[in-house]
Amino acid sequence: GINAEYMGVIVGVFGPAEAPRRHEKIDRAAITVELKPAAGQPSQVHSALEYDIAQALAGVISVEKYPCCIIRLVVQVVQDDGSLLACALNGCVVALMDAGVECASFLTSVAVATTEKDTLQLDPTRFEGEASSAFMTLSFNNIEKGVVFCDTTGIVSVATYKKALGFASKVRDATRSYPKRH
């Protein structure tokens, strides 16, 4: 699992396994994500995050290597005090590597919040995120330059987006060598 100061997820990878007919894709693997909240029942927010996670991972996993298969990820939230999407994406990537699922790239996700005065906060808490004028989850892979996945809430100027991109790129650069060591 991944555990930041205020965040924690445990990720299970099931598969690749033979896909049921409703999920089967003849030329590639189907990816499903189930996000379980720390308490209570999943909400529509969780469903949207499941979709976002599956879409981001479709660009990471070598899905063409697993035709007619399904790769199911179950993300159990242990603690959620903000930055859930970034934490879940990072947890999924590490779990896929640990499970031996072949991936085309390694994804690093970073959460950044902006204040009214365009100050940036890396890995914001729930309180910081709710107080922010915008909240972004930026994902990078270890092959291409630039963002490969972005989820934004709020209004962000081009200048602030570029500033956040530079800020988050430093985190990406710090994690770039991780797949080579593991």
Per-residue pLDDT of the chain (182 residues; tens, 9 = 90+): 554 557 789 999 999 999 999 989 999 999 999 999 988 999 999 999 999 999 999 999 999 999 999 999 999 999 988 889 999 999 999 999 999 999 998 889 999 999 877 789 888 988 988 899 999 999 998 887 778 999 999 988 898 899 998 888 887 777 665 555 44
β-pair partners for 113: 121, 135
User: 0.85 exceeded by the pTM?
Assistant: yes
- What number of other Cβ atoms are within 10 A of residue 127's Cβ? 11
Integer angstrom CA distances of residue 156 from 99, 115, 149, 153, 164: 37, 10, 16, 9, 10
pLDDT at 178: 56
pLDDT at 122: 87
Selection from 82, 87, 60 nearest residue 149 by Cα:
60
